[in-house]
Amino acid sequence: MKIYGVIGWKNAGKTSLMERLVAEFTARGYDVSTIKHVHHDVDLDQPGKDSHRHRAAGAREVILAGAHRFALMVEHPLGKEPPLAQVIARLSPVDLVLIEGYKRDSHPKIEVWRAQAGHDLIQTGDPTIRAVATDTALPPLTVPCLDLNNTGEIADFIAADIGLGLPMGGKSLV
């Protein structure tokens, strides 16, 4: 599986770009999964529900399964966050895993940058950032600047950067 990250500061447009990239790559025939890093506790469960009761009783993993999807909840020992590689290993094989966040990990990334977010570029101090996607003119950088509003251009850059071949199904739709 190929992996690629989308990083940036809060309110830069990371999630919007992720959504557009997923749609773009799936339209091209690729199977895509995503990982979203969060800085707060994640809990899909509700106290009193059966699955919550299973976890409260000590279950390490609980799956909520229905007709259209399932969700796996895993309790981490001592509340320790697992490394990204361990999270990726949980995924079924796909052509591309897009990762939102995990800005300090070593996978290749695009930084989303908007002037109105009020933060400095991360790219200037991070060699894992391969391009900056922005809607603002920037001074020359050591990496390409891509048009944040041109999803196709960004997807082309990612595909070329990681050598994303034909989709698992064997043929591209574009």
Q: Say how far residue 162 (Cα) sits from the centre of its chain.
A: 15
What is the per-residue pLDDT for 142? Answer: 95
- Residue appearing with tokens 């060699």: 127
Convert the pLDDT of each residue in 37-75 to its tens digit: 987 666 677 788 888 889 888 888 888 889 998 888 888
Superfamily for 2-40+78-162? P-loop containing nucleotide triphosphate hydrolases (3.40.50.300)
Q: Sketch the domain layout of the chain as residue ranges.
A: 2-40+78-162
- What share of the chain in percent tops pLDDT 90? 68
User: How much is the average pLDDT of 90-118?
Assistant: 95
Q: Is the dihedral of CA 80, 81, 84, 88 positive or negative?
A: positive
How far apart CA 132 and CA 120 sit, in angstroms, is: 12
Q: Full-prediction pTM beyond 0.85?
A: yes
Structure tokens at 108: 């290749």
What is the per-residue pLDDT for 133? Answer: 98
